[in-house]
Amino acid sequence: MSNSFSTPTTPSSLGYSMPAEWARHHATWLSWPHNLETWPTDLEKVREIWIQMICALSPHELVYLLVNDASTEQEVTARLKAANAALANVRPLRIPTVDAWMRDYGPTFVRRNSHDAPLAFNDWIFNGWGGKYQAYEEDERVAREIATLLKVPVFNHKIILEGGSIEVNGAGTCLTTEQCLLNRNRNPQMRQQEIEQVLKNSLGVSQVIWLGDGIAGDDTDGHIDDIARFIDPRTAVCIIEANSKDANYRCLQENYERLRNAKDQSGGELELVTLPCPSPVYFENARLPASYANFYIANEVVLVPVFDDRNDKEALGILQELFPERKVIGLRCNEVVAGLGAIHCVTQQEPAVSLPRP
């Protein structure tokens, strides 16, 4: 099967849509962290979080782990074996990367109810988060290499977009932000209506809900996965800052009001649950984008970033109530978020399809 469509078709026109994150996964995709510019002082502590993630995920789904070379593969395999990971479900792949932000430069999977090509993915243009990090634009090629490996259809889009900027409920609604997708450092030639149409065509949604600005310290220009997330087709969680003097207070209040007034794909109101914010987290006097909303929903588990903060317990408790059939696991991400992202930013789900794949 060709791994690209040459005709001007869209995922939606062929019956594809992006499933919600809580839908059954075939696999989680990760890249092994190695970039000392991102984590100059605590790379080993960051790598330990990857080991913990893989140990939590591998009993329940495959984990594809991109590594730069054979020696890294051997080292990581030894670490995972020592940590009692389910190694039979861990698949190291030698695909070099600049950095570990798989959510943003990796594929965005879609699926359809068909025996013919049930799985495909969207390949967006990645420009280093609005041209801020030119060296990181090299990771634009990673999705293409994954396409060659998987031999699934790929929809190549002429829009600059990162996976962390979109959130779907699997029923026809997408959340995103104006600060990111309407930013002139992404697609200045496109109007809001045109961007909405791309989202509808590529994700199989009929409704797009626009929030405003993201949180302080977020160099991605307001990715949605630090602000608000769906946890079922009608319910979203959003973060709220209790301190009215905090830099995040006003924008998060505005986003909450937008969600409160929003309609889903059927014209219904959303159920809203609020999550607290941790106290501000800093690295070398710079505010970091620490958010409990950057969790990852996997088969049987939900991985949640925590920050040695008094609100960690409350956030974990709220999420455990929302996911009673999954084990909610807090992972200390103080060092990870120094790289300006956390758990959701470094993971990408591959949904299960009706037909098994090797």
> What DSSP element (H or E) covers 332?
strand 327-332
DSSP 337: G
In degrees and rounded to multiples of 5, residue 248 shows phi and psi of -90, -10
345 is catalytic: yes
What is each CA distance from 294 to 51, 54, 176, 321, in whole angstroms?
Answer: 18, 17, 14, 17
> What DSSP element (H or E) covers 321?
helix 312-322
DSSP 85: -
Question: For the sheet containing 301-306, what is the strand order?
Answer: 296-297, 301-306, 327-332
Cα angle at 163 between 3 and 131, to 5 degrees?
Answer: 100
Query: E strands within 90-136?
Result: 90-94, 108-111, 119-125
Spatial distance between the Cα atoms of 186 and 298, rounded to a whole number of angstroms? 30
- Provide, for the chain, the percentages of residues in helix, strand and coil under a 3-state DSSP scheme, each rounded to the nearest 5: 30, 25, 45
Hey, what's the torsion of the CAs at 302, 305, 309, 312, to 10 degrees?
-10
Given the residues 174, 238, 251, 345, select the one marked as catalytic: 345
Spatial distance between the Cα atoms of 299 and 59, rounded to a whole number of angstroms? 9
Neighbouring C-beta atoms of residue 105, cutoff 10 Å: 29
The set of catalytic residues is 345
